Amino acid sequence: MARPTAEIAEAALALGAAGRLREADALLGAFVRVRTAEEAAALARRDPQWFAPRLLQAAGELSATHRRDLVHALRVAGIAAA
């Protein structure tokens, strides 16, 4: 998770394109655990419709607080939260 946000986004998209959604979701789950909600929202800007639901799912699996913080960060970033 020390990689730049853009690299994480590219890796997740590549995994998704290869049909490896479980791995992509695991990567995003790890990202949400160690990065801020604002960083997750920045990652979601790459492809909001693909990333936002997955990031929200991962955040919700951690806690309601993580999910709420991410919903707020997405809203501030101009990304509609599902």
Q: What does the pLDDT look like over 23-52, one tens digit per residue?
A: 999 999 999 999 999 999 999 999 999 999
Cβ neighbours of residue 24 closer than 8 Å, sequence gap 6 or more: 12, 13, 15, 16, 54
Q: How many CA atoms lie within 13 A of 26 on its CB side?
A: 5
pLDDT of residue 59: 97
pTM above 0.85, yes or no: yes
Cβ neighbours of residue 56 closer than 8 Å, sequence gap 6 or more: 67, 70, 71, 74, 81, 82
Q: Which amino acid is at 51?
A: F
pLDDT-derived band at 82 (thresholds 50, 70, 90) equals low
Q: How far apart are the first and last CA of the chain?
A: 25
Residue 1 has pLDDT above 70, yes or no: no
